[in-house]
Structure 1
Amino acid sequence: MDTANILPVIQAVFKGADALDWHTVEQSFAPEVVYDYTSMAGGQPLTLTPSAITGMWKQFLPGFDKTAHRISDFIFTREGDTVVVHFSGHATHTIGTATWIVEGNYETRLSHHHDKWQLIFFKFNLQRQEGDLQLPAQAQQRAGAK
């Protein structure tokens, strides 16, 4: 299995998000992605373009002073032409001295598009959150003011 080329694609999403480098994030996603954050936000999974995903993140992540996403415990499984990758995630979001921490696990699927691996399925399963639970709303307000 091509884990040496798959893992950097996943890592780029989180490094790019922390750096607000939307181009890097978008390059990791296929032209259409099943995006499922229903465990945090409710609703139904959505099929989105990479720019639609970063468009949502732009309304939120720039409002924090800093974010730090850590991902670990990768499990790779080949399913036909796709690779399924499960992993754990821990994200720390700060504004001033206030902190909001989110932990959960991810289920992702990647396929080979145009000579590179790209995410076609991106699901987050919330396990817990702690800290200042008002920080996400503050970040959204701050991001909208920028």
Structure 2
Amino acid sequence: MFPFGKSKKKEKFEEVNELEKEVISMQKQALKAQRKLEDIYESVKVAEDFRKKMAELEDFYQSQLINLRKSFEESFSLILQENNKLRAENENLRKQIEEVITNFNALLKNIEARLNDLHKIVDEMMKKEKKYYYV
């Protein structure tokens, strides 16, 4: 055949080879891109799993915080009630002590008055007895 035909075939063959090389190169790049996409997908999946776990933890700790707050409020309320009860009892006891002290002071005055009366009686008796002895 003609040398022109061979060279065209050769050119076509080389062109095909070049195209095949480009296709292979593109396939390699596509594979690399696919691997990168898979890595990105895995990273996104891990991140989504992490976000889910964080949301679960946040919900858990939020509920724990709410339970703790309720428990604290109930305890604080009970402490306040007990404190008010003890204050009322303390006030009642203070009034009772004041009443006892007042009664005791009145009793002491009464005893003092009786003792004074008794001293007067004894003094009068002593005066009468002196009269009898010295007459």
TM over 0.5: no
Q: For this structure pair, what is the TM-score category when the shorter chain's length is used for normalisation?
A: under 0.3
TM-score (normalizing by structure 2): 0.18
Task: Specify the structure having the higher radius of gyration (Cα).
Answer: 2
